Amino acid sequence: NFSDCGMKEINGINITLWKPERSPGSSIKGIALGLAQFAETIQGISFGLTAVVAEQELTGINIGGLAVLANGDIRGINVGGLATVASGNLMGINFGGLAVVAEGNLFGINFGGLAVVAKGEMNGLNFGGLAVVSENNMLGLNFGGLAVVSKGELKGINFGGPAVVAEGEITGLNSALIALVSQEGITGLNIVGYKVETPKINGLNVSLGWMDVDDLKGISISCYNKIKRTQTGLVIGLFNVADELNGVQIGLLNIAKNNSGLAKVLPFINFHFD
């Protein structure tokens, strides 16, 4: 037909040449083709030269020249020339030329030319040309050209261009050109160009600049290792400082404040074991 109107339920093939009118309670199940596809629920294979839009749920293979949009959940394989956006959960394989956005949870394989963003949890493989951002926990393999940011926990393999940042704990393999920051703690293997800043580190840390933590359990290799409370393990750097050392410091200058006398400040190597 020229333009969908007064539509209730279609099972089969729907072809509309012009912008559809809003049809409350409408449903398309099957193959939908046209300038734009619009219904309350769409299930199957849908192609809109401009957009594929569902007022509730969108399920299947959906391709929109500009966008794939749903006010509810989206499930399946979804390609939006500019964006793929779900007001609910977004699950499957999703591509947005500029962005992939879920106001709920985001699960699956997601590629956003500029960003991948979720207001809920984010689990899976996520690539954002500029950023990958979750307002909740993030789990999986995450790459952000400028940053990977989570307001919750961040677990998995994370590459954040200049920065990887989480308000919760960071666990796994983490790499950033400039900074790795967590307000709770970091566990795993960290490779950072400049700075690691967190209350505690458990694992192996390598940074060209400096590490600033309250507690360390493991190994840190950095130009400047600053442990404000307890170091348990080994640090290697030019300048190493620990309030309480339970391990070994190797560097040009090593300060262990819990050592006695001259042993508090030593060149090349310092150690203390409880």
pLDDT at residue 157, as a whole number: 94
Which CB contacts under 8 angstroms, 24+ apart, belong to 130-139? 132/160, 134/106, 136/105, 137/168, 138/166
> According to the 3-state scheme, what is the secondary structure of 8-65?
CEEEEEEEECCCCCCCCCCEEEEEEEEEEEEEEEEEEEEEEEEEEEEEEEEEEEEEEC
Pick from 114, 188, 195: nearest CA to 158? 188
pLDDT in tens, 196-211: 999 999 999 999 898 9
Can you tell me the distance from the alpha carbon of 262 to that of 273, in angstroms, rounded to the nearest whole number? 16
pLDDT at residue 274 above 80? no
pLDDT at residue 5 above 80? no
Section 57-79 average pLDDT: 95
pLDDT at residue 20 above 80? no
Report strand pairing: 239-256 vs 265-272.
Answer: antiparallel
pLDDT at residue 22 above 80? no
pLDDT at residue 21 above 90? no
SS3 74: strand
End-to-end Cα distance, the chain: 82
pTM given for the model: 0.85
Q: Mean pLDDT across the chain, nearest whole number?
A: 92
pLDDT in tens, 130-175: 999 999 999 999 999 999 999 999 999 999 889 999 999 999 999 9
pLDDT at residue 103 above 90? yes
